[in-house]
Amino acid sequence: MSSSARRGAARRWVADGLVTAFLLLIGAFGSHFAQENQQATGTLRTPLDALAYGLIFAAAAVTLVRRRWPVSTLAVVAGMTAAYLIIGFPYGPILITLAVVIYTMAEEVPLRRAAWLCGGAFVLLALHAFVPFTDPTNTKFGGLLPAAAFVAVPFAIGVTVKVSREAVQRSRADEARRIADDERLRVAQEVHDVVGHGLAAINMQAEIALHLLPRKPEEAEAALTRISLSSKAALDELRVTLSVLRSRGERAPAPGLAQVPALRDRLAESGLPVSLSVVGSAFELPLAVDLAAYRVVQESLTNVLRHAGAASAAVVITYLPASVEAEVTDTGRGGVVGDVPGHGLQGMRERVTALGGTLTAGPLAAGRGWRVHASLPVGAGLSSDEDR
């Protein structure tokens, strides 16, 4: 058993011990006052004696193990309480002891079983209303009301507490599953962006190498070298991404818009000319916003490599007072990416909208080329900075 589990068990035993001590105390003093009250009203049948106090203290003492053995505790306490009432001792704190045990039954035992067992306890208590059994005219139906109250009320309270506790546990479990699902989606997006971009660049360079190999082997060798560099860069970025996801300690810096020039240079080596323009004065962005903007640019350029054919691309990053905008356009075949949206465009949109931004994607007005435009508020993701 872990130390936290041992501490929890110790706290439960202490709490149960305090409840038992309270029941012993109130049984010792409260029963006397109950007897005096019934003497004053003329309803006392049998005065308290050593047997009465023995039943009161024994029933209270058994409650110490009511959570560990709730059914056995109910059987013992209900039997003692029924014997106490059948003998004719005054109504008193022993019924509070029974109520505590009934509450525990409703809280700890499955509802159907608890209802049957508590119903059996009520039948035992109801027997005292028919004593002596040889005198049918001596039935005291008035005694059934307190017996029913001391069973039904704590049972209802126990069931209510149990239902509320289970609802809280389900809510926590649902929240944990939602967080896990969000984390899995985030991991999938990160891996897709990293691996997808690297494979697209490698594929483009491999096609160039195959085309040049028969006629210009020296240029094919250069393309193969670029494949090696691209694959190494992709593997390094994937390794960093996975280490960040595994570790809760020191983390490598996440990619951001500052890495777009390096991305442009890698794509230029892969055969995709990319122009980069920055409008406005660059300033430090929240990490979540910076990463999302970079992934939009990266995924958009990866789609150009995959779908646009022979084309060039232009990246425009605009810094505004309240937002940052990233726009990627190309001169390739318009409409291909839009007709087959795939996971890349969906992942971009989910990233951007999760931060309160907007993303639009579609063919250019001229009918050739494609445009992706993302706008991200710079106030988004501030709380995420602490988590990364």
Residue 239, in any domain of the structure: yes
Beta bridge partners of 317: 278, 326
Q: Do 205 and 323 fall into the same domain?
A: yes
Q: Do 132 and 180 fall into the same domain?
A: no
Residue 155, in any domain of the structure: no
pLDDT band at 374 (very low <50, low <70, confident <90, very high): very high
* Nearest to 275, CA basis, from 317, 236, 334: 317
Number of domains in the chain: 2
pLDDT, tens only, 139-191 = 455 567 777 888 888 999 988 888 888 888 788 777 767 766 666 666 666 66
Per-residue confidence (pLDDT) for residue 273, from 0 to 100 = 86
Q: Do 187 and 290 fall into the same domain?
A: yes
Q: Do 127 and 180 fall into the same domain?
A: no
Q: Do 273 and 200 fall into the same domain?
A: yes
Q: What is the DSSP letter of 285?
A: P
Q: What is the DSSP letter of 363?
A: E
Domain closes at, from 114, 139, 164: 139
Residue 168, in any domain of the structure: no
| pLDDT for residue 208 is more than 70 | no
Q: What mean pLDDT is reported for the chain?
A: 78
Highest mean pLDDT among 196-210, 242-256, 268-282, 340-354: 268-282
Per-residue confidence (pLDDT) for residue 271, from 0 to 100 = 72
Half-sphere exposure of 373 (CA within 13 A, CB side): 7
Mean pLDDT of 49-72: 90
Q: Do 191 and 303 fall into the same domain?
A: yes
Q: Do 40 and 101 fall into the same domain?
A: yes
Residue 162, in any domain of the structure: no
pLDDT, tens only, 91-147 = 888 889 999 999 998 888 888 898 898 888 888 888 877 766 544 444 455 567 777
Comparing 15-19, 59-63, 149-153, 191-195, the range with the smallest average pLDDT is 191-195
| pLDDT for residue 202 is more than 50 | yes
Per-residue confidence (pLDDT) for residue 140, from 0 to 100 = 57
Q: Do 131 and 245 fall into the same domain?
A: no
Domain closes at, from 95, 112, 139: 139
Residue 347, in any domain of the structure: yes
* Nearest to 294, CA basis, from 349, 343, 323, 254: 254
CATH of the domain at 330: 3.30.565.10
Comparing 82-86, 97-101, 184-188, 380-384, the range with the smallest average pLDDT is 380-384
Mean pLDDT of 260-283: 85
Domain closes at, from 112, 139, 166: 139
Residue 19, in any domain of the structure: yes
| pLDDT for residue 232 is more than 90 | no
Mean pLDDT of 190-213: 66
Per-residue confidence (pLDDT) for residue 237, from 0 to 100 = 64
Per-residue confidence (pLDDT) for residue 171, from 0 to 100 = 80
Q: Do 130 and 215 fall into the same domain?
A: no
The percent of residues in the chain predicted with pLDDT above 90, rounded, is 15
**What is the span of the domain harbouring residue 100?**
3-139
Question: Do 55 and 83 meet the contact criterion of CB atoms below 8 Å apart?
Answer: yes
Torsion of Cα atoms, 74 then 78 then 80 then 83, to 10°: -160
Q: Do 134 and 183 fall into the same domain?
A: no
Is residue 27 exposed (0-12), middle (13-18) or buried (19+ Cβ within 10 Å)?
buried
Residue 150, in any domain of the structure: no
Q: Do 243 and 107 fall into the same domain?
A: no
pLDDT, tens only, 299-329 = 888 788 776 666 788 999 999 988 999 999 8
Q: Do 249 and 192 fall into the same domain?
A: yes
CA–CA separation, 194 and 299 (whole Å): 9
Mark residue 77 as left, alpha or beta (left: phi above 0; alpha: psi -120 to 50; beta: remaining). alpha
| pLDDT for residue 196 is more than 70 | no
pTM: 0.48
CA–CA separation, 253 and 269 (whole Å): 25
Residue 207, in any domain of the structure: yes
CA–CA separation, 140 and 129 (whole Å): 5
| pLDDT for residue 376 is more than 60 | yes
Per-residue confidence (pLDDT) for residue 359, from 0 to 100 = 93
Mean pLDDT of 18-46: 83
